[in-house]
Amino acid sequence: MKVNQSMYSGQTWKSLSETPGFRTDNAQLVLAFGERHLLETGDFYGQLRLTYPMADIIVNSTSGEIYLDKVHDDSVIVTAIEFEKTRVRAVQIDIQKYTESYQAGETIAQLLDEPDLAALFLISDGSWVNGSELTSALNQCLHRPIPISGGLAGDGDRFERTVVGLNQNPAVGKIVGIAFYGAHLKVGHGSMGGWDVFGPEREVTQSSYNVLYRIDDKPALDLYKEYLGKYTERLPGAALLFPLSMRTTADSEPLVRTILTIDEEARSMTFAGEMPEKALVRFMKANFDRLIDASATAAHTSLSQLNFAPELAILISCVGRKLVLGQRTEEEVEVAREVFGKDAVITGFYSYGEISPLQSNARCELHNQTMTVTVFSEN
């Protein structure tokens, strides 16, 4: 595997790193993670196509760009990859052509599933797509379990719209599936939150997809405000400090769900993921040190599935973590870099949702408020 990285910032391009022997016309895959306004005002796809004539080029908007152990804003980080023994194929789905995200996931599975499929990486619109249904379809429709990871595009802290594109300038409503084929590619993954839970576990008694109306037959927003105490006055912004832990059944692993908006009139809360009725929820609160430690844990977990050092690591962390950590945000990237060492190429972005299994050989899930790591090696 050979990799080239470059950065666009301040209206100029800068070369960041390049593996000896890398050739632009041999690159099969290009990942361009960037700030939405930059992507919408410049022909980034056109520029990249001139440089990488044979590659599948994926461009998506972010809530912050990751390169090595730094977090950037108002930039585009481009990572071009030349695989030596691995075949890569990408497809794009327009969510507007489907009545539900599950059908979009079915189509991606049908288009990319082959006997030697080794891993699947997803970059999806973060505003229009139901990530829970998308991942559920992939889990059920692929013929055998494979590593599935990725994330939902971001839009800073604006939450206006997100854009994604495969071999075109990015647009709203796109989902890109990137498939890797062959026996030589090794993939590891890890995902961890680091939030503290508190209070009793309660049942969702009324909801509609991602809108939560009642918990234990009480208005959800009223109960939430009881727990927030003095932070109630800072809603909806304070909701990022207090996500919910959710288990779909008593036997399920807990998932973290971020609160996007509240509705004072309906006494409801809208989440960045599905909140099904009869699910079990607990309140959570931020613990800065545990959030940073969770990043290191996710990195260690990803490496536990390999028996050698990774060549490429893609870090996808939630915008909620970035807003909560503030000036300490780079610490969660720095600790991951320490785990991987100096030889691994690192890229990634801050997202509106993360896609990863919780454990090795488990189903992939949509997460919020986690650091999700995917590592690759053809070594």
Greater model confidence, 24 or 342: 24
Q: In what order do the strands lie in the sheet with 148-152?
A: 87-94, 174-181, 117-124, 148-152, 353-357, 364-367
Q: State whether residue 129 is helix, strand or coil.
A: coil
Cα dist from 55 to 27, 29, 174, whole Å: 5, 5, 19
Per-residue pLDDT at 308 exceeds 90: no
pLDDT value for 131: 87
> 151 near 316, Cβ under 8 Å?
yes
Quote the Cα angle for 28-151-130, to 5°: 125
Q: State whether residue 296 is helix, strand or coil.
A: helix
How many alpha carbons fall within 13 Å on the CB side of residue 114? Answer: 16
Q: What are phi and psi of 37, to 5 degrees?
A: -60, -40
Q: Where are the beta strands (DSSP E) in 63-172?
A: 65-67, 70-72, 76-82, 87-94, 117-124, 148-152, 164-166
For the stretch 317-336, pLDDT in tens is 999 899 889 999 999 999 99
- Write down the pTM of the prediction: 0.92
CA 257/CA 245 separation, integer angstroms:
6
For the stretch 209-253, pLDDT in tens is 889 999 999 999 999 999 888 888 888 778 878 899 999 999 988
For the stretch 242-284, pLDDT in tens is 899 999 999 988 999 988 789 999 999 988 788 999 999 999 9
pLDDT value for 192: 93
Residues in the chain, overall count: 379
| Beta strands 280-285 and 312-318, pairing class | unpaired
When pLDDT is cut at 50, 70 and 90, the band that residue 362 belongs to is: low
pLDDT value for 361: 67
Q: What are the domain boundaries of the chain?
A: 2-192+289-377, 196-285
Q: 53: which 2 tokens?
A: 């004539």
Average pLDDT over residues 34-54: 95
H or E element at residue 37: helix 36-41
pLDDT value for 238: 82
Per-residue pLDDT at 60 exceeds 70: yes
